[in-house]
Amino acid sequence: MSARSKARKRALDMLYAADLRGVPAIEVLDQEAVRARTQPEREASWAYGREIVLGVIERSGEIDETIASHARGWTLERMPATDRAILRIAVWEILFNDEVPDSVAIAEAVESATVLSTDDSAGFINGVLGAVAASR
């Protein structure tokens, strides 16, 4: 698994934890920063994971609006928490990180959904992200 893939997983864990606990993502990020300082072997995934979470926090309104406008028939509240976190990461990468090709952001998101979410999530996430990428 590449360092960026590990970082996406780390960001997913943080966003998911914040969502489930009902706390601001910055609080979970701060806790993870303390953990990162004591585990230097995980440093490669920390920098980009932190960048993702900060980007999602900074652009949360735009990201959630984009997801909602492309997720036909689904509200954010109705989606599984895992899917919300996966979509937020991928939409941030598609819209706000020019270093990541859209196809890579989508493929990584679909892979995460395949492994971590429901049987229908990968197809749903692929459709939403494909529509987001096409509308840029």
pLDDT tens for each residue of 32-63 = 998 888 887 777 778 999 999 999 999 999 99
Domain 3-134 has CATH 1.10.940.10: yes
The CA distance from 124 to 94, in Å, is: 17
Distance CA(82)–CA(97), nearest Å, equals 21
Lowest mean pLDDT among 33-37, 73-77, 111-115: 33-37
**Domain map of the chain by residue range?**
3-134
pLDDT at 1 over 80: no
Full-model pTM: 0.94
